[in-house]
Structure 1
Amino acid sequence: MVTSDSHSSSSPPGISSNNIDAYALFEALTGHKMDRRSIPSRTMSEDYEDLGNEDDDSPLLGQEPSPDEPPKEVNIGAINPYALVEAMIGHKLDRHALSTSRIISDVLQTDYEELFDLKHKSVLFAGLKLNEQERRAEELPENEIKILEERDLVTPDLSRVKTLNDLEKIGLKEVGDIRIKMARMQNGKLRLILDGQSLGRTVGNDDITETINDLVLPFRHNKEDREWAPPNSSWRDMNEALFRSIPRRFMMDGPPFAFTRNFHEQYQHRFDDPTQGAASNCWLIAAIFSVFWSNPAMINRSTRMLSSPMERSRRTLSVKFHDKGGRNNAETDTVEVDYQIPVNNSTDMPIYARSSDGFEAWPALYEKAFVKWMTGSQDRSRVDLTQAHNGDPVKAMAQINGREPRYYFTDRHSAAELAGLVRACSVNKRTISPMAAWTHATGDMFRGSNLVANHAYSVLGWVSEGQEENQYIIVRNPWGVTEPRGLTSYPGLLDRVEPEYWPPAALLDRDGVLSIEVQTFKKCFACIGVAK
């Protein structure tokens, strides 16, 4: 039994005690500081796992499902709309407010419920197109990406429209065949919402503004001679930018007195979970978090100082990545990056990957290091982070931890097999081998489900709940956002996971963490994988 030193102090004189401090061991393994005063009490029943139904169709006792053949091409990528809109408008959004959905919809010129499915050609999937037969995404060639100008977005004057015939006069041809998006009777009036794409263009997966192009896509459109930097941003030292942002955020979140005490209470959180920025590299951020979650010791968060006679001293981080073949790949090597990252000039916040508490550097540095490695860039400071705009989260986990990627396509395995796979990779209901999954590129389930199509999620573990002991798989959205209640609802999905429901939730920031019943998981997700 592992006990703490506080209990060993009562050992008789002359008898040595080799008991391990369990708290110190936990902190060393996870890299998190533990509040020893807030350890919950446990009951004996919590030490045992429910073995489930004896009649299920799981693989033979002691065996995991056989992995499937690795896919030839994986184009998983969905832009974080919260970070994208923040980068475009230059101020922070309240991610827990219902009104935020309206802001996102207005800025991205798309109905909120149509943002999260590739079949609507949403701008969140810029640079990708839908293969309807196989329900997967394919890359768009650069020559199919159109950069919209102001005149392209101009709409006609509708103030003089009085009849349906008037709509045809201003350019809406064949009104009788126009798709009706919504119809409602209210107080004797028929209210219709028609598809009016022929009257005015909006941004989409292949029609984008120059601002969105420079933020998320690697296409420079004859700007190769200009050093890449996102709009309204500059390359700055991350530590310096975060320090400058503290007073502004402190004034927004709390009173300007007792600064030291309030700062530590509000900003020195123990959660530094990687969160996706204004990019479509969900596959990479989900992979980084999955490795970090299953074994924090695999992630190097220790920087070193570099100094030379020609330049001032600066901190760098060295990371080793492993060759796994295919694209978004390179030979096994260790790369080094400094703290220079793109920072929004208005908010003093990183535009791309950041920690969930906003004050840790390593997620941004890991993102930068991976892109530098896969592109072969020789610049330690400035790397074009849009080059990783879609990819394979399962392979990326293996590129980070050096293990082998294993793929399990949900249409080839039963729900019981998928649940058994997660359980086989977990201890105490938490994954100890990094796991990730991605959703189908389209489907009715992505309208009002708190899930996103063609999106990568970290798989964190499992839990059983209810009288019939339904099996749930715990996943995390790399956006680090759980949508407010009232926006979404879907059977088989719980929109927030608390420690009382799933104890490992106490180890992470719960924003973006979802519990999905295994049958729903099988329906919504296309593939789950592990790197072991």
Structure 2
Amino acid sequence: MTGSKPEQPDTPPKHLHIGAINPFALVEAILGRKLDWNEAAASHTLSSILQTDYEELFDMRFNSILYAGVRLNDRGDIAEPIPAKDMHTLTERDLVTPDFSKVEKLGDLSHVGLKDLDAIRVKHAFMSNGNLRLTLEPRSLGKTLCSSEMTTTLRELCTPFRINEKEEWAPPNGTWTDMGSCHRQDATMFSNPVQGAASNSWLIAALMSVAWSDPSMIRHCTRRSSHDDLDHDQSSHKTKDCSLSVKLYSKGGDKDASSATVTVNCELPTNNSSSQLMYCRPSSMSYMHHHPAKSLRTWLSGGSGIGSGSGGGEIWPALYEKAFAKWITHSSSSEHPDLTQTAHGDPVKAMAQLTDKTAQYFFTSSRRGQDLLGLVRTHCVNLRTIYPTVAWTHPSSDKFRGSTLVGNMAYSVLGWAAPQERKQYIILRHPWGATEFEARGGVVTSYPGVVAAPGGVDAKFWPPVEMVDARGVFAIETGNFKEYFAGMGVAK
């Protein structure tokens, strides 16, 4: 690229509302227990709990609960916030469905409220063993969870719309727990940010991109020893306080505040039933299972356990999320900021807010696939990005039918690859820390031009993967990248 003219950035957008809730974290928070997402039944579990067909969960046009608080604009090309007045709370009565046990003929459907059969949309129709099997969409018979209608629990858990704004925020079935004893700074372990039950992939992807391109930019926990008197005598005991201080920089617009150093303690929301972290967590942390003390010992010792990680690491990703929420909500006096206020934002600006660099935007619509690959390559050394780089998807596409590529989602750009010097790929990392789970005969859904596996791409395909937890890392051919993604951004 020596001597070539640098790619000129585009005019920054006025607003970006990027983000989708991590369905795995959301379902675990609802159920209060850890689930194995590599099982073939995982898609059915997600669909059942979130009340949406699996293939419709990841596209904004279907208004799934993963997009709580945002909707497609009139043109259908970007996400826009849903006004608070248009957000509705569902009760148990709203979710009750009619009794179909006495339906024997199509005409009987009129007795349960289906008066206009000829106008009802047929979603699926096929013959099987001489039987005609129909799937109808009778919207008038009952409500389901969606982006603008949800239960009180989900509204408080994963949206920024508070019912009682005067009370200090805590998630439903959650408690602020001091995680200071979980502090373990181990340079041999990877601690990638994994998104939780808030729709803030824009922030989690930005965090990962900054940590990947320049680990020295990331601040870690500090611990302070103090002496507290036990009695009136001279006896005392030591307590260790864990905290993180990080400088955040104002870049204007929403999800912003005056430049400041924000300090947070190590209290984080955990689920009362499972003791798991409910929001952002490190990929290397074995989530505390049914026995918190035992799980903590396992994690602190670097052992493997149930969860998305393999032990070791520390909690800096969760503390960064907390610090960012404290900053944008001006909650300087509270150690319990509302983490859901980080929902939907601008991943490119977030990288600038974390580093005090300039946010540069490059939209895919005006560029060829090779131009986009060239843009990535100019910000790489030895196949790895050295400037924080992110990309975000279109809000809707016929291709978004699984959890690897998700509509209106931000991803970290880690570098590029050309295995066997043939096809060229852009390497991305999913903020959910996972790609499509395994099923019989392969994956549940597939994407043209995408190389993904539950364990991530391997070192033979892309050598730098050995420097990162590979889960959630996948590759996409340059031409397909342009099709799936709306834009890319760099902080430099």
TM-score bracket for this pair, using the shorter chain length = 0.7 to 0.9
For the 8 Å contact 1:78–1:280, the answer to whether it is kept is: yes
For the 8 Å contact 1:342–1:351, the answer to whether it is kept is: yes
2-structure distance, mates of 1:290, 1:477 = 11
Q: Which ranges of structure 2 fall in alignment gaps of 5 or more residues? A: 230-237, 286-312
Which deviations, in whole Å up to 9, do the C-alpha atoms of 1:435-491 show, x marking residues without a partner?
001111111111247310001100000012467x22211111100111124211121
Shifted more, 422-431 versus 62-71: the winner is 62-71
Residue 142 of structure 2 corresponds to residue 200 of structure 1: yes
TM-score for the superposition, normalised by structure 1: 0.81
1:94-109 matched pairs, under 5 angstroms: 94-109=36-51
Aligned residue in 1 for 2:429? 476
1:312: how far off? Answer: 5.8
Residue 370 of structure 2 corresponds to residue 416 of structure 1: yes
1:63: how far off? Answer: 2.6
For the 8 Å contact 1:242–1:348, the answer to whether it is kept is: no
Aligned residue in 2 for 1:528? 488
Which of 478, 486, 504 lines up with 2:464 in the alignment? 504
Does the C-alpha gap of structure 1 residues 132 and 476 become closer, same or farther in structure 2, counting only changes over 3 Å? Answer: farther
2-structure distance, mates of 1:439, 1:173 = 40
For the 8 Å contact 1:438–1:457, the answer to whether it is kept is: yes
Shifted more, 306-315 versus 518-527: the winner is 306-315
1:176: how far off? Answer: 1.5
1:380: how far off? Answer: 4.8
1-structure distance, mates of 2:175, 2:226 = 23
Which of 238, 243, 260 lines up with 1:316 in the alignment? 243
For the 8 Å contact 2:58–2:403, the answer to whether it is kept is: no
User: Per the alignment, in what secondary structure is the counterpart of residue 283 of structure 1?
Assistant: helix
Residue 446 of structure 2 corresponds to residue 489 of structure 1: yes
Residue 332 of structure 2 corresponds to residue 332 of structure 1: no
For the 8 Å contact 1:95–1:481, the answer to whether it is kept is: no
Which deviations, in whole Å up to 9, do the C-alpha atoms of 1:394-426 show, x marking residues without a partner?
000010011000000000111111000000000
Residue 403 of structure 2 corresponds to residue 462 of structure 1: no
Residue 329 of structure 2 corresponds to residue 360 of structure 1: no
Residue 212 of structure 2 corresponds to residue 293 of structure 1: yes
1:159: how far off? Answer: 0.5
1-structure distance, mates of 2:54, 2:127 = 22
Residue 112 of structure 2 corresponds to residue 170 of structure 1: yes
1:308: how far off? Answer: 8.3
Aligned residue in 1 for 2:303? none
1:39-118 matched pairs, under 5 angstroms: 61-118=3-60
Does the C-alpha gap of structure 1 residues 181 and 530 become closer, same or farther in structure 2, counting only changes over 3 Å? Answer: same
1:96-245 matched pairs, under 5 angstroms: 96-221=38-163, 223-240=164-181
Aligned residue in 1 for 2:288? none
1:61: how far off? Answer: 4.4
TM-score for the superposition, normalised by structure 2: 0.88
For the 8 Å contact 2:435–2:472, the answer to whether it is kept is: yes
For the 8 Å contact 1:306–1:316, the answer to whether it is kept is: no
Aligned residue in 2 for 1:264? none
Which of 278, 292, 300 lines up with 2:197 in the alignment? 278
For the 8 Å contact 1:242–1:349, the answer to whether it is kept is: no
2-structure distance, mates of 1:142, 1:307 = 45
Which deviations, in whole Å up to 9, do the C-alpha atoms of 1:110-138 show, x marking residues without a partner?
11111000100110000001125151100
Q: Equivalent pairs: percent with the same residue?
A: 49
Q: Report the residue type matching 1:183 in the other structure.
A: A
Aligned residue in 1 for 2:343? 389
Q: Report the residue type matching 1:494 in the other structure.
A: V
Q: Report the residue type matching 2:284 in the other structure.
A: D
Structure 1 moving runs of 4+ over 6 Å: 308-311
1-structure distance, mates of 2:24, 2:365 = 32
Q: Report the residue type matching 1:156 in the other structure.
A: P
1:345: how far off? Answer: 1.2
1-structure distance, mates of 2:242, 2:182 = 14
1:365-376 matched pairs, under 5 angstroms: 365-376=319-330
2-structure distance, mates of 1:397, 1:361 = 19
User: Per the alignment, in what secondary structure is the counterpart of residue 198 of structure 1?
Assistant: helix
Which of 281, 303, 311 lines up with 2:222 in the alignment? 303
Q: Report the residue type matching 1:429 in the other structure.
A: L
Q: Report the residue type matching 1:490 in the other structure.
A: Y
1:155: how far off? Answer: 0.4
Q: Report the residue type matching 2:208 in the other structure.
A: F
Which deviations, in whole Å up to 9, do the C-alpha atoms of 1:137-181 show, x marking residues without a partner?
000011101010000000000011112222223112321221111
Aligned residue in 2 for 1:518? 478
1:302: how far off? Answer: 3.8
1:218: how far off? Answer: 1.5
User: Per the alignment, in what secondary structure is the counterpart of residue 445 of structure 1?
Assistant: coil
Does the C-alpha gap of structure 1 residues 71 and 229 become closer, same or farther in structure 2, counting only changes over 3 Å? Answer: same
- Structure of larger gyration radius: 1
Q: Which ranges of structure 1 fall in alignment gaps of 5 or more residues? A: 1-58, 244-266
Does the C-alpha gap of structure 1 residues 369 and 416 become closer, same or farther in structure 2, counting only changes over 3 Å? Answer: same
For the 8 Å contact 1:128–1:139, the answer to whether it is kept is: yes
Does the C-alpha gap of structure 1 residues 214 and 242 become closer, same or farther in structure 2, counting only changes over 3 Å? Answer: farther
2-structure distance, mates of 1:123, 1:505 = 33
1:197: how far off? Answer: 2.0
Does the C-alpha gap of structure 1 residues 134 and 195 become closer, same or farther in structure 2, counting only changes over 3 Å? Answer: closer
1-structure distance, mates of 2:109, 2:41 = 31
Q: Report the residue type matching 1:373 in the other structure.
A: W
Q: Report the residue type matching 1:272 in the other structure.
A: S
1:512: how far off? Answer: 1.1
1:240: how far off? Answer: 4.5
For the 8 Å contact 1:492–1:517, the answer to whether it is kept is: yes
User: Per the alignment, in what secondary structure is the counterpart of residue 470 of structure 1?
Assistant: coil
Which deviations, in whole Å up to 9, do the C-alpha atoms of 1:186-221 show, x marking residues without a partner?
111111111122111100000111111111111112
2-structure distance, mates of 1:208, 1:308 = 48
Q: Number of aligned pairs?
A: 449
Does the C-alpha gap of structure 1 residues 525 and 306 become closer, same or farther in structure 2, counting only changes over 3 Å? Answer: farther
2-structure distance, mates of 1:238, 1:377 = 20
Q: Report the residue type matching 1:112 in the other structure.
A: Y
